[in-house]
Amino acid sequence: MVKVNDLQIDTIKLLGSLTDNVFITNREMELTWMNDHAKKLVNNLLPFIPDIKSPEDLIGMSIQELHPSSSNFFRVMKRNIFPHQSKIPIFGYMANLLVNKLYDHEGEHNGYILFWRDVTKEENQRIRNERLIEEMSTPILPVVLENALFAPLIGTFDEKRFDHLRERVLSACVKLGADYLIFDFSGVTVVEDEVIITEFEKLRATVQLLGAETYFCGFSSSLVQTFVRNKVKVEERTFSHYRQAIQHILGKEGLEIVPKKNHEPR
């Protein structure tokens, strides 16, 4: 029992009423107690735990046995820095874990308490949202010519976003049989890693192997300096505006945009 402002609180009943999964171990990390929510969780995990038929079978078992030797669990215990919180995949779930030490009335460390919150649905939704944002922020668009693609680049570019861009560009070039590809950098705010600049040159070379010519437009002065600093030469295929790139491609195709006959301007 714990007394708080003249209120007697039964600690075990309090932990048992929580909707989080609560586990308590001794100093040797042997499980000594779990609340009802934790028992329901363990029931779902039984197919993944050899020789365990019920939640009660875990009592007295060291939770170290549930972790592979390469698990972050052992690094956390070795560092001995608590409370510790982390989000980890385990047994097909995504769990938000909080681990802290327990002390007796004399201040002696006598065990650990672990809170496990199942955040699988939230994590899956977060991943879906991230993918949707990536799709929206890295569009590959057709232009007036069926064999040309337009890639307006927006926001901050890091390695992850560039990997996604490369995947989409190569897929679109192959799927649509593109002969021309225009990258528009006018919406780029930051390139976090200058190595990505050289990756654009590698992507251009890869696209060329697929039979497509690549053009760049919309460079800011700072971005031009970044390209020059990384010794990436793009002058012969660079335009200040994407319309100029499209006009250049039309010329290569022997086409031009002319006013429609008998058309009266508004």
Domain-located, residue 191: yes
Domain-located, residue 109: yes
Q: Which residues pair with 215 in a beta bridge?
A: 182
Range of the domain at 21: 2-123
Nearest to 63 by CA among 23, 20, 110: 23
Residue that finishes a domain, picked among 123, 158, 186: 123
Domain-located, residue 133: no
Tell me what pLDDT residue 234 has: 65
Tell me what pLDDT residue 200 has: 86
Residue-wise pLDDT for 138-152, tens only, equals 788 888 888 999 999
My answer on whether 40 and 104 are in the same domain is yes
Q: Which two tokens stand for residue 10?
A: 């039964």
For Cα atoms 86, 90, 95, give the angle at the middle one, nearest 5 degrees.
40
Tell me what pLDDT residue 219 has: 86
Residue that finishes a domain, picked among 123, 154, 179: 123
Tell me what pLDDT residue 238 has: 87
Residue-wise pLDDT for 77-87, tens only, equals 888 999 999 88
Tell me what pLDDT residue 9 has: 62
Residue-wise pLDDT for 245-266, tens only, equals 999 999 999 988 777 777 666 6
Q: Which amino acid is at 79?
A: R
Which residues have CB under 8 Å from 56's CB, separation 6+?
A: none
What are residue 93's phi and psi, to 5 degrees? -105, 160
Q: Are 184 and 152 in contact (CB under 8 A)?
A: yes
The three-class DSSP label of residue 122 is helix
My answer on whether 157 and 103 are in the same domain is no
Q: Which two tokens stand for residue 173?
A: 């070039």
**Has residue 95 got a pLDDT over 80?**
yes
My answer on whether 113 and 183 are in the same domain is no
Q: CA-CA distance, 161 to 223, in Å (whole number)?
A: 17
**Has residue 4 got a pLDDT over 80?**
no
Supply the CATH number for residue 218's domain. 3.30.750.24
Domain-located, residue 261: no
Q: What is the mean pLDDT of the chain?
A: 85
Tell me the mean pLDDT in the region 162-176: 91
My answer on whether 200 and 108 are in the same domain is no
Cα→Cα distances 135→70, 86, 121, 129, 162, Å = 35, 29, 21, 10, 12
**Has residue 129 got a pLDDT over 80?**
no
Total number of domains in the chain:
2
My answer on whether 6 and 113 are in the same domain is yes
User: Is 0.85 topped by the overall pTM?
Assistant: no
Residue 265 DSSP class: P
My answer on whether 118 and 146 are in the same domain is no
**Has residue 7 got a pLDDT over 60?**
no
Domain-located, residue 203: yes
My answer on whether 149 and 60 are in the same domain is no
The three-class DSSP label of residue 133 is helix
Domain-located, residue 129: no
Domain-located, residue 131: no
Q: CA-CA distance, 103 to 27, in Å (whole number)?
A: 10
